[in-house]
Structure formats: C-alpha cells, structure tokens
Chains A and B, each alone.
Chain A
Amino acid sequence: MYTSLANRRSFIKKMAMLSAMTAAATMFPGILFAEEQEEGLPKNADLDWKKAPCRFCGVGCGVLIGVENGKAVAVKGDPKSSVNKGLCCVKGYHSVIAMYGKDRLTKPLVKKNGQYVETSMKEALDLIASKMKETIKDHGKDAVSIYGSGQWTIPDGYVASKFFKGCIGTNNVEANARLCMATAVTGFLTSFGLDEPMGCYEDIDYADVFVLWGNNMAEMHPVLFSRLLDQRLKRGVKIIDFATRTTRTSMAADKSILFLPQTDLAVANAICYEIIKNGWVNRSFVERHCNFSKGLTNMGYGLKDNYKFKDKPEKIDFNAYKDFLEDYTPEKVEKISGVSVKDIKYMAAYYGDPNKKVMSFWCMGPNQHTRGTWMNNLIYNIHLLTGKISAPGNSPFSLTGQPSACGTVREVGTLTHKLPHGVVMNKKDREFAAKIWNVPVENIDPKPTYHTVEMFRALDRGDIRFMWIQVTNPMVTMPKLKRYRDGAKKEGRFIVVSDIYPTPTTDIADVILPSAMWIEREGMYGNSERRTQYFEQMVNPPGEAMSDTWQLIEVAKRMGYEKQFHYKEETHIEEIYNEYRKHHVGKKHNMAPLEVLKSQPGVLWPYVDGKSTKWRFNAKYDPACTNGKDFHFYGKSDGRAIIWQRPYEPAAESPDTEYPYWLCTGRVVEHWHTGSMTRRIPVLHKAMPHAYVEVNPEDAKRMHIQTGDKVKLTTRRGEIILPASVNQRGIPAPMQVFVPFFDENMLINEITLDSFCPISKEPDYKKCAVKVEKV
C-alpha cells in the first residue's frame, strides 16, 4: 500500500502525540485533553490492530499492535483489557521497536576455531542434537540441562519440560524465575499449599489502603501503580511505601517508611504483635481457617557448593506463637530496624482496622532475600490474623517481574522439582504426567537435581556438560558472575544460546540460534494475577529466526522422540496448549479453552463453567471450595492456611569496617531487565543510557562525590567503577548504595554475593557489604 511521505509524517506526528498523551495519563491519572483533539488522533489509519499481552513486565497489560505492510509499527493500550484499561507505560508503548534493532540475530552461528561462522538452521539443529546425544552417552543424562525463562511462552516451557523431564529423563530444567519468583512460590506453598495469588487486580478498585513492601511500583509496575494513584484521586485511598530506599514510589506515596536492610522480618512480626496485643485478631477466621507452625531456624545461606536444606515444620498453638512475638514489641524492633514505634503502630493500625480493606504488594524486595520465604509467610500472617484475605480489596498480592513467570515457569513448572501438575517427588504426579506425555513413567526421575545457582556451579564443576539457554541472559544476571562465566567457558562444556540479539550470554555460546520474538510467532503468557493471554503471529521473524518452541521440537525429533513431538508446524501451538490443559483439569486450576483466550484480552484461571475465578479459597467466588465453610484453603489437606512462626535473622553478609556500606541492586522504569531489548529502543536508551551508583547525599558530601564523578565499589568478589548519582532518581539511606543491573558494560553482578534463601534457593541481590570510594 502506498502512503505519501506527507501522510506518513503526519501519521507519525499523531503517534508521537498519542505516545505523550499515554505517558501523561500514566503520570497524572485523570489528566484531560480537549475531546476534539483526542478525536483527531488516528483511529485505525491504515493499520491492522491486533491484541497481545505486552512483551515486557509481569503486569501483563493488554496492548493492541498496529501492523502495516508486514511490519509492527505502533502500540497502544487495549481499552478492553481489565489489566490496564487502555494505559501503557514507556516500555510497552515502544515495545515493537525492540524487534527491529540493527544487530538482530537472523542466522545460526556456530563457533569454529574461536570464530562464529554462519550456518543453516538445519545444520545447527543437527549439531545440537548430536552434541546432546554424545554428552548423554559419555556423562549420563544428568549432564545435559536447559535454562529458560519467565519470558518463555507457555508452549516453549511446556515442550522443554516434556523433552527433558519426560523423554531424556533428567530434572535439569530450570528458569530464570528462580532468580525472581521462586520465593513467592515457596511462600505460597508453605502458607497455602498452592501457588499464585488468591486475589486479582480488581482488588485495587476495592482496597482502602495499599502497603508496598520493598516494591518500587512506580518504576517496576508503572501501569498498576497508576491505577493506585487513580484510586487515590477518586476515593482518597492511602498508599504506604515501606522500603530501604527513597524512590519515585516513596515520593508519590502518602507515607514513606524506611527500614534497615533485612529487618522487614522484624517489622512484620512487630505488626503481628500489635494486632494481637490490641485485640485486632479476627478470631473466628483464625479458629476456623488457620493452623500455626514453626520451622527450622539458623538455616545458613547456601554459600557453599552442594548446600542442602530441608525444613522440618512443627505444629504449635496460638499461645506459643504469641509468646514468640514477645521478642518483637515495637520498642524492641525499633532498635533493630530503624523504624519508629509510631510508624510500626501506624502500619499495624491499618491492618488491624476492621473497617479498612488492605492490599499488600511486594515483588523483589521480599523475594530476593536470604529469608525470603519467611518474609512472604510473614506478610500472609498479617492478612490471616486479621482475616483480610481472599475477598475483594483484602489481598496479599505477590507481583511478578516477567510476562510469563507465572504462566510458564510456575504453572507449566519449569523448575527442577516441578511437573505441570505437582512435583517429580510424588509418584501419582509422575504417573499423571507420563500418561499425558506418552512416556514410560520410569523416565521421570523422582529426584530433583539442581536449582539455578547450583546448576551453574555444576557446569563449573563439570557435572553438567551441556546447557541450552533460551530467552534469558544469565551472564548479566547471575550473582557472583565471574565464577559462572569462567565455569561456562571451561573446556568440555557445550553451550547453546537462543536469543534475538548478541548479549554477554551469546558470548559464551558454542551455538547461537536466532529466535523469533513475541508476535513473530504464536503463543501465550500468564501474568501476575493468573491471567493467561494469547497472541497470534502478526509478522514474520527475520532471516532464519525460529520460535524457541519449534527449535526444541526439531531437536527432540532428531533425538528420536518423534512420537512425543508429533505436532504439525501449522497447528503446533494449539495442539500443545490443548495437551497442556489436560494437566490442569479440575476446578482448582482449569485453563480456558483456546477459542476463549482468542476472543478476549486474557482469562483468569481457574476457569470453571465458562467463568473466571477472581477470588480463590472464598466459597462465594470459588467453585473449588467444598468444605461447607465460608473459606476453604484446599491446597492444604485439612483446608487450613498456616500462620508461620518465623524469626528475624541477619543477612548473609552485613557491612563491617572493611566494607562499611550496603549494596542493593535493581531495575529502572526505562529498561527491561538486562536491557538487551530496551537498550535497542533509541528513546529508552537515550533516556537511561548507562548504569550508575546512587549515593546518599550526606555520604556523597562527606566523600566529596558529585553526580557524574567516578566511584569505585569493592566487595569480597571484586570491584567496579561507576558514575555517581546524587539526589537524582532514587536516594538510598545513609551508608547504602544502589546500582541498577541493566547495563552489560557495567556488570554489577560481578561483585554481588550468591547467597540464597535456603527454602526457595532464590539469590539475595539486595544485600551485601561494599566499600565505596571516589576515584
């Protein structure tokens, strides 16, 4: 179709205008522009608009993609999506540009004599299959592994799990969600016996108070945060930011409360102490629906290879729990946490007030935490004690970072111990999966192998020889990076990387496969609120790029698993999804049929009798409740949720005289995780071109550091030099520094610590000790 240059320019100008209006709407909820001007914006132009979930974060906004002449040229928020109601953040709005970077990988590359040589896809896939066979023959099935991601689509993760666990028979399947959401999973499992939030985003429209636990929502979940701000404008709700650093979220909140790193454990217990002391316990709820338990303490931090831990839960009673909390009076906790008695009581009073509906949000703060599972348990404790759970507006809500951390990693179960339904350790679950997968049940190994950190340690040691990495960038994100990079490069290791751009991870590859990205193929993602969203293929992938799903199928077939991977190329996504649904049949997790997913901007599971379940465990909304009571926590055999006794314990590494500061790492609104996509979007790259170290203004003054000055950070793992940022975007508390991790040229993970939560095995990227010097 011919478009004149003048038309095209005016079209782009209108798009630029729309982009600014969308950004304004995110920053200033309720902002109005004259109606006739809004009407002047292009409605359809010559574009074909198709729906998809956003490529980036776990909020899972519904977007409409404008396709013109085979190219995706525009994005707008989908007004029909209940997630974002037409809004979009800067990343989402510019997402399609990420598909068209100049250095997109379009041909398979094979390393020969230290050089990458272009080859055909057929040859590359042949080589991968033969290397896998050879490795299994020489070193056994547990010498091959796959490391995927929360950006895998549901079919990607499903075929990976079926191929490795069902066919090859190794549990060496992990995904980067281990680095961000594993703690949320163990939190849910220990407290409720089932993963994923009981509520949904609609809770935002009913809650009176929002408590954000170490969660910089304004930058990490911008569209959801704008929904909170919108509610404040409409209904005067309260937003409390409880964090270790002053961020854009703190500035927008009604109250910002700072705590010392790791002491959130103590403060959460103090809130429970106050709730009990003031008689705010919802006695009938607790008596009817809760048990009390305690677990092992002093678990260690997983710093040594082959570290093992298994909790030993023990039932206790309310009085024992109450006695335990005597150590957490607000007065005692003030001394540990730096949070005033007044502020502890302030938070407790909101949770305790029977007339206030409270929503707690958290993401990486409590999750990337050496006592992360405990921290998740403690937030649930507060909601369980007050009965503020599983009801509209009363909702402990664990947010995800990636578009399908829930949909793929947690629901498909691409973690070493998991199966799509249940766990490898359970005989019945193995039998169930083997039947659907059409493999002998003996194929599925009953023993989990390695969680992510240990998997890379095994690669370093030589226990693992072959690793296939898809749609993730571990050579930027692994903590204590140097060890794992050196390990991956050792003689006798074979690494395959499937990605869309060159990254520090493709640098360690023996074979690089070009992948089809997002709407260049068909697939589904599942977001934070149990919403599964379908997207069709809208444009062709460049060159020989192929979906991760099809890459896996091709290699599986080459290894002799044609029977299990019989799918037809034209219909394989539909066939895979239909097969996958069989694993979740039943009222507790039923997934919507594909036609339903195609017809609307996503569906919440459990999808029962043609309806989404918005509030699980609440008999009024959840058809899976069968105990005849108002609530039924059916993840536990006696139908009761658990209130856990979990103490405060210090971090793995705390500041001392040699390394006197805390180092915290994290993200920025402009960049998606390691920046491999968003740094190729010019407007985002320009807005945030490189990493920096945020220094507290008083510390900076003392050290004569100004914004832009070079600062050296040294930990026990190494050192790095970064430009300083003083009084800019975020302001760390005194004696703390913050560094974002998106910049592959300034790899902060070279110096972070690989300690992890012993229960979830998720590393703590938020705390280690560091020396700070001006250079």
Chain B
Amino acid sequence: MPIKSYLAHSHKGKKAELVNALSTIGQCEVMPAENKDVVIVVTDTEDQIEEEILKKKLDTLESLKFLAMVSGFNAPQND
C-alpha cells in the first residue's frame, strides 16, 4: 500500500491547469505552493500495479513539466 510524495513542476503559467488536472485523480492529494510553479502531490495507491498505472497517467498530463519523488512509505496492512 504505497504512499508517495512528489514535487510536481508545472510548465510556465500552467500551474492552475496542473492543479485542476491532479485534483480530478482520486489517488492524489494536492497542495500548490503559493509563490512558485510547484505543486506537492501525495499519492495513495493499493499496490505496485495501481501505482504504476497512476504514474503513467501523471506522465501524460500536458501541464506537467516534471515530477520529482521526495519520499515513499509503505503503509502497513495492519498495526
């Protein structure tokens, strides 16, 4: 059950578009920076396969310049 965080850099002037696009994806939580073309994205997926599908989906977003992973956690199944 991977949880990852990324810094998503938008193309110039496309931050709002990027935020909108990311917000429509269920597995993504988004926090845009106030003063830079950077958006924090936290992804929460069930397994590796879902995670890879999501990653491919993100890569097709036109407003996205590049995505840099910051951290990855594997949430435990139970405590």
Q: Which of A5, A21, A28, A683 contacts B79 (CB 8 A)?
A: A5
Contact (Cβ within 8 A) A12 B79: no
Contact (Cβ within 8 A) A20 B72: no
Cβ of B34: which chain A residues have Cβ within 8 Å of it?
A: 32-34
B54 at the interface (CB under 8 A from A): no
Contact (Cβ within 8 A) A12 B73: yes
Q: Chain A: which residue is nearest B71 at the CB level?
A: A19
Contact (Cβ within 8 A) B75 A12: yes
Q: Contact flags (1/0) for B54-74 with A, using CB distance below 8 Å? A: 000000000000000111111
Q: Which of B5, B38, B76 contacts A8 (CB 8 A)?
A: B76
Cβ of A27: which chain B residues have Cβ within 8 Å of it?
A: 7
Contact (Cβ within 8 A) A19 B31: no
Cβ of A30: which chain B residues have Cβ within 8 Å of it?
A: 35
In whole Å, how far is B12's beta carbon from the nearest beta carbon of chain A? Answer: 15
Contact (Cβ within 8 A) B29 A13: yes
Give the one of A2, A4, A13, A37 with max B CB within 10 A. Answer: A13
Knowing A3-B79, A27-B7 touch, does A13 contact B44 (C-beta < 8 A)? yes
In whole Å, how far is B76's beta carbon from the nearest beta carbon of chain A? Answer: 7
Distance in angstroms between the alpha carbons of A3 and B79 in the assembled complex: 7
B48 at the interface (CB under 8 A from A): no
Distance in angstroms between the alpha carbons of A30 and B34 in the assembled complex: 10
Knowing A2-B79, A19-B70, A32-B33 touch, does A9 contact B38 (C-beta < 8 A)? no
Within 8 A of B (CB), among A468-483: none
Cβ of A21: which chain B residues have Cβ within 8 Å of it?
A: 31, 40
Distance in angstroms between the alpha carbons of A682 and B32 in the assembled complex: 26
Contact (Cβ within 8 A) B35 A20: no
Cβ of A682: which chain B residues have Cβ within 8 Å of it?
A: 72, 74
Distance in angstroms between the alpha carbons of A290 and B74 in the assembled complex: 59
Contact (Cβ within 8 A) B79 A19: no
In whole Å, how far is A252's beta carbon from the nearest beta carbon of chain B? Answer: 15
Cβ of A24: which chain B residues have Cβ within 8 Å of it?
A: 7, 33, 36, 38, 40
A15 at the interface (CB under 8 A from B): yes
Contact (Cβ within 8 A) A9 B3: yes
Cβ of A90: which chain B residues have Cβ within 8 Å of it?
A: 70
B24 at the interface (CB under 8 A from A): no
Give the one of A16, A28, A31 with max B CB within 10 A. Answer: A16
Q: Contact flags (1/0) for A221-264 with B, using CB distance below 8 Å? A: 00000000000000000000000000000000000000000000
Q: Which of A4, A9, A94 contacts B75 (CB 8 A)?
A: A9
B1 at the interface (CB under 8 A from A): yes
Contact (Cβ within 8 A) B35 A31: yes
Q: Chain B: which residue is nearest A90 at the CB level?
A: B70
Knowing A2-B79, A5-B78, A687-B69 touch, does A16 contact B33 (C-beta < 8 A)? no
Q: Which of B4, B6, B38, B77 contacts A31 (CB 8 A)?
A: B38
Cβ of B41: which chain A residues have Cβ within 8 Å of it?
A: 20
Knowing A13-B3, A31-B36 touch, does A683 contact B44 (C-beta < 8 A)? no
User: How many chain A residues touch B (Cβ–Cβ < 8 Å)?
Assistant: 31
In whole Å, how far is B71's beta carbon from the nearest beta carbon of chain A? Answer: 4
Distance in angstroms between the alpha carbons of A13 and B29 in the assembled complex: 9
Cβ of B31: which chain A residues have Cβ within 8 Å of it?
A: 17, 20-21, 33-34, 37
Q: Chain B: which residue is nearest A14 at the CB level?
A: B42
Distance in angstroms between the alpha carbons of A683 and B5 in the assembled complex: 10
Contact (Cβ within 8 A) B33 A94: no
Within 8 A of B (CB), among A20-66: 20-21, 23-24, 27-28, 30-34, 37
Cβ of B4: which chain A residues have Cβ within 8 Å of it?
A: 16
Give the one of B35, B44, B75 with max A CB within 10 A. Answer: B75
Contact (Cβ within 8 A) B7 A13: no
Give the one of B73, B74, B76, B78 with max A CB within 10 A. Answer: B73
Cβ of B69: which chain A residues have Cβ within 8 Å of it?
A: 683, 686-687
Q: Chain B: which residue is nearest A40 at the CB level?
A: B31
Q: Chain B: which residue is nearest A1 at the CB level?
A: B79
A93 at the interface (CB under 8 A from B): yes
Within 8 A of B (CB), among A104-121: none
Q: Which of A8, A13, A28 contacts B36 (CB 8 A)?
A: A28
Distance in angstroms between the alpha carbons of A683 and B72 in the assembled complex: 6
Cβ of A4: which chain B residues have Cβ within 8 Å of it?
A: 79
Distance in angstroms between the alpha carbons of A20 and B77 in the assembled complex: 23
Within 8 A of A (CB), among B1-50: 1, 3-7, 29, 31-36, 38, 40-42, 44
Give the one of A3, A12, A15 with max B CB within 10 A. Answer: A12
Cβ of A17: which chain B residues have Cβ within 8 Å of it?
A: 5, 29, 31, 40, 42
Q: Which of A3, A16, A28, A686 contacts B3 (CB 8 A)?
A: A16
Knowing A5-B78, A8-B76, A94-B71 touch, does A19 contact B36 (C-beta < 8 A)? no
Q: Which of A20, A32, A683 contacts B7 (CB 8 A)?
A: A20
Contact (Cβ within 8 A) B33 A20: no
Distance in angstroms between the alpha carbons of A16 and B69 in the assembled complex: 10
Cβ of B36: which chain A residues have Cβ within 8 Å of it?
A: 24, 28, 31
Contact (Cβ within 8 A) A33 B71: no
Distance in angstroms between the alpha carbons of A90 and B31 in the assembled complex: 19
Contact (Cβ within 8 A) A33 B3: no
Contact (Cβ within 8 A) A9 B29: no
Distance in angstroms between the alpha carbons of A3 and B76 in the assembled complex: 12
Distance in angstroms between the alpha carbons of A9 and B77 in the assembled complex: 9
Contact (Cβ within 8 A) B5 A20: yes
Distance in angstroms between the alpha carbons of A687 and B67 in the assembled complex: 12
Q: Which of A5, A8, A32, A683 contacts B71 (CB 8 A)?
A: A683
Cβ of B79: which chain A residues have Cβ within 8 Å of it?
A: 2-5, 8
Distance in angstroms between the alpha carbons of A686 and B68 in the assembled complex: 12
Distance in angstroms between the alpha carbons of A13 and B43 in the assembled complex: 8
Cβ of B76: which chain A residues have Cβ within 8 Å of it?
A: 5, 8
Q: Which of B3, B7, B77 contacts A23 (CB 8 A)?
A: B7
Cβ of A686: which chain B residues have Cβ within 8 Å of it?
A: 69, 72
In whole Å, how far is B4's beta carbon from the nearest beta carbon of chain A? Answer: 7
Within 8 A of B (CB), among A660-687: 682-683, 686-687
Contact (Cβ within 8 A) B42 A16: yes
Q: Chain A: which residue is nearest B43 at the CB level?
A: A16
In whole Å, how far is B65's beta carbon from the nearest beta carbon of chain A? Answer: 14
Distance in angstroms between the alpha carbons of A227 and B70 in the assembled complex: 20
Interface pairs (25), CB distance under 8 Å: A2-B79, A3-B79, A5-B79, A8-B76, A8-B79, A9-B1, A12-B73, A13-B42, A16-B70, A16-B71, A17-B5, A17-B42, A19-B5, A20-B6, A20-B42, A23-B71, A24-B33, A24-B40, A31-B35, A32-B33, A33-B31, A33-B40, A90-B70, A683-B70, A683-B72
**Chain B positions near chain A (C-beta within 8 angstroms):** 1, 3-7, 29, 31-36, 38, 40-42, 44, 69-79
Given A21-B31, A28-B33, 19 more contacts at CB 8 Å? Answer: A4-B79, A5-B78, A5-B79, A8-B76, A13-B42, A15-B73, A16-B4, A16-B42, A16-B71, A17-B31, A20-B5, A20-B7, A23-B7, A23-B70, A24-B38, A27-B7, A31-B38, A37-B31, A683-B72
**Chain A positions near chain B (C-beta within 8 angstroms):** 2-5, 8-9, 12-13, 15-17, 19-21, 23-24, 27-28, 30-34, 37, 90, 93-94, 682-683, 686-687
Return the 5 tightest CB-CB contacts between A and B, nearest first: A16-B5, A20-B5, A19-B71, A32-B34, A20-B40
